[in-house]
Structure 1
């Protein structure tokens, strides 16, 4: 395919648009337009999600089966994905905060 055919009148604007829109994600144009995001398709996102869930499952298993006095392992970090900002660390809610939110007596005997 010669892109000069567009200027010679042998390649319609519609056909050129279709060719550009269906370029493979490995093409130089797609990489220039989208950067690192172009490297990740649905398969890579699904695999990263599966790895993240497996890591959390293993972490939960180890945490649940550890001695109460043992140091708890750190929660696993998700696989970094291009174009997605790293989330802030989630802070666990205390039973007192939950009770206050729902308007119930706190488990510690307050209220």
Structure 2
């Protein structure tokens, strides 16, 4: 598909919007809009939660069953998730939203 078809009037703006909205997860537009979260599915989030719960359960078992004189085990670090700040890193700044192009700039780009 040629994006110039929209400029030439061969496809409607609605059809172009539908095509962009339903791009695959690994597309550049999906990464630009959602960052790393575009690659994560519900299954990935559930697997990360299961890993975190298992690590916490193992940590609790080890903490209860260690010798009184021994140092307690270190608490587990959760699996990093996209969009969530890491415990050691500061919160990310909000994304910059660019100004929409003017009709003149669109005509110049597609001509």
Give TM-score scaled by structure 1 length.
0.69
Match in the other structure for 2:21: 21
Q: CA RMSD in A?
A: 1.7
| CA positional deviation for 1:78 | 0.2
Distance in 2, Cα, partners of 1:50 & 1:2:
44
Structure 2, unmatched stretches of 5+, are 89-111
Superposition map of 1:35-54 within 5 A: 35-54=35-54
Aligned residues: 88
Match in the other structure for 1:92: none
Match in the other structure for 1:61: 61
Match in the other structure for 1:5: 5
| CA positional deviation for 1:61 | 1.2
Distance in 2, Cα, partners of 1:54 & 1:5:
53
Structure 1, unmatched stretches of 5+, are 89-111
| CA positional deviation for 1:87 | 4.2
Structure showing greater Rg = 1
Match in the other structure for 1:75: 75
Q: Relative contact order (alpha carbons < 8 A, sep ≥ 6): 1 or 2 greater?
A: 2
